[in-house]
Amino acid sequence: MRSIVDHVPDPLRDRLAASLPTRVRRRVASRQSPVPLDAQKLELIDLAVDRLDCTSFADLGGLWGVSGGYSVYAATAHDTHRVVLVDDDLHDRGGCATADARVVRQRAAGLPNLELLAGTMGEQRVREAIGHVDCVLFFDVLMHQVAPDWDELLAMWAPHTRAFAIVHPTWDRSEEVVRLTDLERHEYLRLVPSLPLHDDLHHHLDEENPRRGRTWRDAHDVWQWGIGDRALGDRLADLRFRTRLYADHGSWNGLPRFRKTVLLASRD
Which pLDDT band, with edges at 50, 70 and 90, does 17 fall under? very low
CATH of the domain at 105: 3.40.50.150
194 part of a folded domain: no
156 part of a folded domain: yes
pLDDT at 22 over 50: yes
Number of domains in the chain: 1
Question: Half-sphere exposure (CA, 13 Å, Cβ side) for 225?
Answer: 25
pLDDT at 25 over 90: no
64 part of a folded domain: yes
62 part of a folded domain: yes
Burial class (CB in 10 A: 0-12, 13-18, 19+), 267: middle
pLDDT tens per residue, range 73-91: 999 999 999 999 999 999 8
Determine the Cα–Cα distance for residues 227 and 249; give it in Å rounded to an integer.
16
Angle CA(95)–CA(63)–CA(199) in degrees, nearest 5? 90
pLDDT at 16 over 60: no
84 part of a folded domain: yes
Domain that holds residue 72: 4-188+222-267
Which pLDDT band, with edges at 50, 70 and 90, does 1 fall under? very low
217 part of a folded domain: no
209 part of a folded domain: no
Which pLDDT band, with edges at 50, 70 and 90, does 209 fall under? confident
Q: What percent of the chain has pLDDT over 70?
A: 88
Does the predicted model carry a pTM greater than 0.85? yes
**DSSP string for residues in 92-131:** -BTTB--HHHHHHHHHHTT-TTEEEEES-TT-HHHHHHH-
For residue 77, count other CB atoms closer than 10 A to its CB: 17
From first CA to last CA, the distance across the chain in angstroms is 30
